[in-house]
Amino acid sequence: MKYLYVFIGLILIVSCNSSDLKNNEEEQDDITPPDPIATFYKGMDLSFQSELETYNINYRDETGTVVDLLDFVEDNGTNLVRLKLWHTPQNGQNSLTDVKAYAQRVKSKNMAFLLDIHYSDFWADPGTQTPPSAWQNMTDIEIRTAVYTYTKDVITQLKNQNTLPEIIQIGNETDSGFLWNYGKVWDAFSDNWSNYAALVGEAIRAIKDVDTQDEVQIMLHHSNVENAIYFFTELEPFSLDFDMIGLSYYPQFQTKNLNLVASKVNELATTFEKDIFMVEVAYPFTLDWNDNQNNFIGNINQTIPEFTPSPEGQKAYMEWLINMIKTIPEDRGKGFCYWAPDWIAFSGNESTSTNGSAWENQCLFDFNNKALPAFDAFRIN
């Protein structure tokens, strides 16, 4: 009888343990693993670096100690670098060779890489979208083939050297389309959206044919926060397969109403269900200049009343911008990219209008090449 009680006890213990184990397994099945923490990109457009490095510029930290620029920005919070690509640049800068070389350095720092394909031999923006010289006088079919072939070759070369971009931008500030007049959607070509969409579609197809693991985020870029809704509304019927809306915000050219900026950005995110990336931003730390070239900002009326053109005002602007992006609904705000933080008066303060910077008062380094307080905004997680 004693052994019978022991046997029954063992059965009860095993039964209870089995029941507990089953309950634990059911509870674990009900637990949904948390989503990975999304990266918030704090970027810089360093497209000038392949040229500026030839001038042996001494960038300095806040104490005045000379630093390597890429090392310094990475150590102080920058986690993405944007590089522009021109097809056949006349001055040799921003060629695919340049981009490939600098992309390797970016990736070696474990930083993300944003590729800005201009589809031009020089600057492309809302007022200038000139096709590469090699693509002049093509038919519509021929230029679509050229877009596909060129894009696929670029992305293939980058992938083959293990520098596949995290984000690829199809065209630069394409408010008026690109590759004029093939993809122009402005003025007499305002009904040309189908041709523009077809060209963009070929670029997207080329990227996806190389990026078979769907690792790359595809961006379309508009230069104006206020007017971008019209642009993306016109594109919507074509169901283009892109991920991000890229925006420029320069207060000297756009509204200075901060509430309007935030509301328009939020409207873009919710209307089109796309992520938002403020891909070109900047603000002056002074209205003075450090060479003999005129600057893009030199008047108090070009600035935002809430932020003085001073080192602390520049920092405060960046803090506002980051907060605005992070509060976009549904976590659609993915980051920002400061444009040309390194484009200082590289030939000294006697440089002329043909060999100077129009941007030195909007850099993130002062006139002694020392890092400014705005870097604090990059250091915040």
Q: What is the pTM of this model?
A: 0.90
Residue 172 in tokens? 């630069």
List, for residues 305-320, the tens digit of each pLDDT value: 999 999 999 999 999 9
Instruction: Give the pLDDT score at 250.
Output: 97
Instruction: Give the pLDDT score at 348.
Output: 64
Contact (CB, 8 A) for 168 and 219: yes
Phi, psi (degrees; rounded to nearest 5) at 122: -150, -165
The residue that leads in pLDDT, 21 or 323, is 323
Residue 230 to residue 24: CA distance in whole angstroms: 53
Residue 318 to residue 308: CA distance in whole angstroms: 12
Would you say residue 29 has pLDDT above 60?
A: no
List, for residues 230-240, the tens digit of each pLDDT value: 999 999 999 99
Instruction: Give the pLDDT score at 318.
Output: 98
Instruction: Give the pLDDT score at 349.
Output: 61
Residue 312 annotated as catalytic = no
**55 Ramachandran zone, left/alpha/beta (phi>0; psi -120 to 50):** alpha
CA 44 → CA 69, 70, 297, distances in Å?
11, 10, 19
CA dihedral 143, 148, 149, 154 (to 10 degrees): 120
Contact (CB, 8 A) for 377 and 73: no
List, for residues 172-219, the tens digit of each pLDDT value: 999 999 999 999 999 999 999 999 999 999 999 999 999 999 999 999
Contact (CB, 8 A) for 204 and 170: yes
Domain ranges across the chain = 37-379
Instruction: Give the pLDDT score at 38.
Output: 80
Q: Which of 173, 267, 312, 319 is catalytic?
A: 173
Residue 306 annotated as catalytic = no
Beta bridge partners of 178: 183
Would you say residue 17 has pLDDT above 60?
A: no
Contact (CB, 8 A) for 87 and 119: yes
pLDDT-derived band at 156 (thresholds 50, 70, 90) equals very high
Q: What is the DSSP string of 115-173?
A: EEE-SSSS--BTTB-PPPGGGTT--HHHHHHHHHHHHHHHHHHHHHTT---SEEEESSS
Give mean pLDDT, residues 84-93: 92
pLDDT-derived band at 5 (thresholds 50, 70, 90) equals very low
Q: Which of 51, 166, 234, 280 is catalytic?
A: 280
Give mean pLDDT, residues 41-47: 98
Would you say residue 350 has pLDDT above 80?
A: no
Indicate the range of 146-155, 341-350, 357-366 predicted with least confidence: 341-350
CATH class of 37-379: alpha beta
43, amino acid identity: G
Mean pLDDT over each residue of the chain, to the nearest integer: 91
pLDDT-derived band at 381 (thresholds 50, 70, 90) equals confident
pLDDT-derived band at 93 (thresholds 50, 70, 90) equals confident
Residue 79 in tokens? 């986690």
